[in-house]
Structure formats: structure tokens, C-alpha cells
Amino acid sequence: MSEKESEFVFFAKAVSRILGWAYFFCWSASFYPQPISNWQHKSTIGLAIDFPTLNVLGFIAYTISTAAFYYSPTIQSQYAYRHPESPLTTVRFNDVLFAAHGALLCVIIYSQFFPSVWGFKVSKLQKTSKAVLGIFWGSIIGILATVCMVRIAGRQGGYDPSAWAWVDVIYALGYVKLLTVVVKYMPQAYLNFQRKSTQGWSIYPMLLDFAGGVASLLQLFIDSSLQGSWEGVTGNPVKFGLGNVTLFFDVVFFYQHYVLYRDEEREEEMLRESLL
């Protein structure tokens, strides 16, 4: 490798690290505006309960998934076997820290829907939908089914990556996270549409989400190019999918907040309606 190539690689790695921490801080900070807004108004009206319900499941699954890829030699070796052209995972420490931090904040936000815990005003209509409950329990059943397949059809107790292996369970956890991200924004977008307002729901998480999504995707592409293979992207579909889905729904929410319902001044009315 020439001196110029070495300098380029060093620069690219530095940019990757900066982007990694940039998305970590943006996405981590995005958890705070909504619970703070709920606390200020002593109300969860404006936030769809389906959103934190799926977030709790998704971030717990994501925490286990990223931690396994980062810390487990078994999962790392099985990943390397499945992706020989790019044997090193693109999961970084900031991914693990972000997931664990997100799981904790999601539990706090979800708990704000219980008046017995926080004493906040909650809409009578705020009940977890049957569709979301189906996704919630279906995802858990899917993970357990994958574990059973590893135990039944796997070789060497799931340690042979050529058959059903423990890495498949970790992938299942990752896909659960991706599924929750795809679905969780829909109830919130629909609730905004029903109310013809975004009052009570904070736009700031979406702004931070958008910035974090761009940084996350850029880091993933840089890391994959440094490895000389796009398997860094295909081998980490959750991170790639998270970035794209997040950006899409962020644009939807920007349109609702800044265009469709920009002139709506109904906050007090919204905070009074459908209260317990």
C-alpha cells in the first residue's frame, strides 16, 4: 500500500469513527424530547402508545443482537463463516451503547402511559392495537421458534455455522428490531392524521433521527468500502434497514408537522379531549 493510500485509509477510518459517534449522539438524544414534553404537560396525549410498545420490544432485541455481534467470539466466528469476503462485522461499540441506552429510555417512555406510575393524563383511546399486539407476541414466538430450530436441526449444539446456528437467533433478533421500526411509525403518522395536529408530539426526535440516519448510512458505506466488499452492508441488514426506514418516515413527519398541520393551534383543546 502506497503512502497516499495509507493516508486515505487512515482518513476514512477517522471519518467512520466520527460518523459513528455522531449518529450515536443524534439518535440517543432523540429519546429525550418526547418524555420531557410529556412531563412538562403531564400528559401523553399526542403520542401513540403503539410507538413505545414496539420500541421496547425492538430495542431490547437490538441490544441483545448488537452485544452478541460485538462481544461473542462464537457469533463473530459464525458470522465470518457466513460472510467469507467480509469476515469482520460492522457492529461498533457505539451501536451497542446506543441500543442499551435506547432500551432504557423506551421503557421509561412506555411507563408514562400508566397514570399509577407518573400521574399523567392519558387519552381513553390510547390502547395498544390488536395489530401491534400480534406483532409483539408474533415476534417473540418467532425468536423462540428460531431457538428451537437451532436446538433441533443445528449441528454441534448450534455451533456449526453450516447449519442452523446461534447466529441465526441473533439475526432473528435483528430482524425483529427492523420489523418494529418499519411498523412503529405508522400508528403515530395515522394518529397525527386523525387529530389533524402534531400537538403533544415532539418533532425534535425526528430531526435528530434524520441526522442520525444519514450518519449511520454513511458510516456503513465507508466501513464496507474499506473492507473492499459490500457484504458489510448485506451482512448487517438491520443497520442498513434502520437508516433507510428512519429517513423515509422522518420525511413523512416533516411534511405533517411543517406543511399539513403547520397552522393548527389546538394544543389546549387536544390536551383536554378524551382525558381520564
Q: Residue 86 is part of which domain span?
A: 3-272
Greater confidence, 20 or 190?
190
Local confidence band at 245 (pLDDT 50, 70, 90 cut-offs): confident
Give the mean pLDDT of 77-95.
84
Going by C-beta distance under 8 Å and a sequence separation of 6 or more, which residues neighbour residue 205?
30, 31, 33, 34
More confident residue, 39 or 224: 39
- pLDDT for 242 beyond 90: no
| pLDDT (0 to 100) of residue 173 | 94
> What is the pLDDT, as a whole number, of residue 139?
96
Q: 234 falls in which pLDDT band (50, 70, 90)?
A: low
pLDDT of 42? 92
Q: What is the pLDDT of residue 220?
A: 76
pLDDT tens by residue, 94-146: 889 889 999 999 999 999 999 989 999 888 767 889 999 999 999 999 999 99
**Whole-Å CA distances, 233 to 33, 118, 246:** 31, 42, 16
Percent pLDDT > 90 in the chain is: 48
168-189: average pLDDT: 90
pLDDT for 271 equals 46
Distance CA 107, CA 105 (A): 5
In degrees and rounded to multiples of 5, residue 142 shows phi and psi of -60, -40
Q: How far apart are CA 260 and CA 256, in angstroms?
A: 5
Average pLDDT value for residue range 261-275: 55
User: What's the pLDDT score for residue 103?
Assistant: 95
Tens digit of pLDDT for each residue in 248-257?
A: 899 999 999 9
All cell numbers assigned to 28:
440517543
Q: Which carries the bigger pLDDT value, residue 105 or residue 230?
A: 105
Report yes or no: 164 and 147 within 8 Å, Cβ to Cβ.
no
Between 139 and 212, the higher pLDDT residue: 139
- Count the domains in the chain: 1
- pLDDT, mean over the chain: 85
CA distance 233 to 51: 27
Residue 200 forms beta bridges with which residues?
none
Residue 86 near residue 235 (C-beta atoms within 8 A): yes
The pLDDT of residue 275 is above 50: no
pLDDT for 221 = 80
Ranked by mean pLDDT, the top range of 122-126, 191-195, 245-249 is 191-195
Question: Residue 97, Cα to own-chain centre: how many angstroms?
Answer: 13
- Note the pLDDT tens digit of each residue in 23-56: 888 988 999 999 999 999 899 988 999 999 999 9
DSSP for the chain, please give it.
--HHHHHHHHHHHHHHHHHHHHHHHHHHHTTSHHHHHHHHHTB-TTS-THHHHHHHHHHHHHHHHHHHHHH-HHHHHHHHHH-TTS-S----HHHHHHHHHHHHHHHHHHHTT-HHHH--B-BTT----HHHHHHHHHHHHHHHHHHHHHHHH-SGGGT-TTSS-HHHHHHHHHHHHHHHHHHHHHHHHHHHHHHT--TTS-SHHHHHHHHHHHHHHHHHHHHHHHHTSTHHHHT-HHHHHHHHHHHHHHHHHHHIIIIITTT---HHHHHHTTB-
pLDDT at 276: 46
